[in-house]
Amino acid sequence: MGSTGGSTRSAPDAAERVVRPKPADREADGYAEEAAALRTGLVREIVAGGGLTDPAWRAAFEEVPRHLFVPYYYEAGDAAAAAAPPDTRTTRAGEAGTAHGTVGYTRLWRDDPHPLRRARWLAGAYADAPLATRVRDGELITSSSQPSLMARMLQALQVRDGDRVLEIGAGTGYNAALLAHRLGDAHVTTLDLDPEITEAARNHLAAAGFRPAVVTGDGARGCPLHAPYDRIIATCAVASIPSAWLGQCRPDALILTPLATGLIALRVADARHAEGRFLAIPAYFVPLRGSGPPPQVPTHGLPSRPLLDDSFRFLLNVAAGHLEPVEALALWEHEGRPGRERYGVTVRGERQWAWLDDPEGAYGWPLGPPGRLEPFRGLSPGAP
């Protein structure tokens, strides 16, 4: 899916046109020149990988300074932590696969007194990799997503000039800055449950010259204050689609959200109906806070080889709690090992389900709490 480039809606008038922020003052930002060169390299890498085909989004990635949104972040790995100064180390307890049951974290930060570590921080800020930005009580609270994945998600959002966008999960504020660069501050709202996260995001955005609405609140409830929206994009995973999101959308709006290790793009018909398919690309995001843990994905009775296949693991996730593992394997093999793009989601009133190939076809699984342990057959509007 790509951006429509504003072809389906008239351009905003002169008073509404996007005003690009001036580049950060080089005296205030001592990294500006080096960061610009690194940013050019990052954009070149994303383009080479098939991303940023829309010139407007390419300009956003070229001009928005990511390093201002990650003044510090954490690298996981015991070796890195052991080599780091004591005041930059932290650990996460209970992680499997480590010698002592912990994962070491190294904090890389902008104001590190050591020039080589500062250089490492800046290079990491422009690597095509996710960055852990906040860890609390052994839990990853927020991160800055991999830039190439962000680029694909933003293009899949298919924004048009004048669209109003709600972002669920403020993170560092970087994604909101990219949206504000494309659409203008007045058209972007970013929301997060944690006031520390929203305060930090607001500060980062201001430092980069952006001032979209930054709101503290429950992502599952959306943000009625600035509704209705033409697009909703979530940067945290959900187990089912919150009904409030549909209610705050205009007809024909698009919702893009992580679900079951994939990205579902839902076209909204009205406040109670939406439908769409998954994008082909995998996506792993932390869950929407306050929504409870995702359902456990059982693997008992399965041979090891299918578990190495990403498309099979996706099926296990999308049907978790509703399909026995051995049945999932039989279905996956019978249907030709389907990729994510063959799956979709339908929201119809109080019911919503994931499906393979056809929302009214042979295979469908309800979203939400575990229920039946076999695929539905022949779903119909009157089905339970």
Give the count of beta carbons closer than 10 Å to the beta carbon of residue 108. 25
- Please report how many Cα atoms fall inside a 13 Å half-sphere around the Cα of residue 283, on the Cβ side: 32
C-alpha gyration radius of the chain:
21
Q: What is the side-by-side strand order in the sheet with 213-216?
A: 213-216, 188-192, 165-168, 229-234, 249-259, 262-270, 273-278, 343-348, 351-356, 364-366
Which residue, 223, 187, 128, 283, is CA-closest to 176? 187
Tell me the residue type at 283.
A
**What is the rounded distance in angstroms from the CA atom of residue 255 to the CA atom of residue 229?**
10
The two tokens of residue 354 are 């994931």
In the block, residue with structure tokens 């932390």: 286
Tell me the residue type at 41.
G
Question: Which residue among 10, 145, 148, 311 is the active-site one?
Answer: 145
Contact (CB, 8 A) for 178 and 152: no
Which residue, 352, 345, 356, 358, is CA-closest to 371? 352
Q: Which residues contact 211 (CB under 8 A, 6 or more apart)?
A: 180, 185, 205
Bridge partner list, 356 = 343
Which residue, 68, 69, 105, is CA-closest to 87? 105
Is residue 3 among the annotated active site residues? no
Q: Which residues are catalytic?
A: 145
